[in-house]
Amino acid sequence: MRVGIGYDVHKLIAGRDLILGGIKIPNDKGLLGHSDADVLTHAIMDAILGAMAEGDIGVHFPDSEEAYMGISSLELLNRVVLLMKKNRYEIGNIDTVIMAEKPKLHQFTNEMKQNLCKVLGINANQLSIKATTTEKLGFIGREEGIAAECIVLLTTNELFSKL
């Protein structure tokens, strides 16, 4: 078994869509970033890459490369999943938390979960998505940004380990 932790944060700005878990969330501000700035998906990718000791998303998808400008983070997650499979790992479970003062995200977590499970190739009972505020404290509480944390458990793919 291998455990990985992921964390991501992006600044909120006017004029951008707010994308979390691959869905567009109605909001007056979105997250600033080279890709779609989906902090939830980025945290999941970093956790998986960390569990495999494969660096982070900046190593694999640098913001200096035009190819990743505006790209869907779900596409990047798909590439991380392919690397995970190549390295003969499978997901045991993933636990995430999104930290945002607003908008309230609970009503969107099921749709996020469906999107992410499809790309990850896992069942809904293997992924937890929670949302919380910081009680108006810090940059999140001042609505300057949104953050996400993730922990993942990877296991060795049994099929390959018996070969």
Give residue-wise pLDDT tens across range 29-49: 999 999 999 999 999 999 999
Q: Which domain holds residue 102?
A: 2-161
pLDDT at 157: 62
Residue burial 77-115, b: 16+ Cβ < 10 Å; e: rest: beebbeebeebbbbbeebebbbbbbebebeebbeebbeb
pLDDT at 158: 60
pTM of the model: 0.94
Mean pLDDT of the chain: 95
Instruction: Kindly report the CATH number assigned to the domain that includes residue 107.
Output: 3.30.1330.50
Domain total in the chain: 1
Residue 39's identity, in one-letter code, is V
Radius of gyration of the chain (CA): 15
Q: What stretches of 14-144 adopt beta strand conformation (E)?
A: 18-20, 23-25, 30-31, 89-99, 127-132
Ranges under pLDDT 50 in the chain:
163
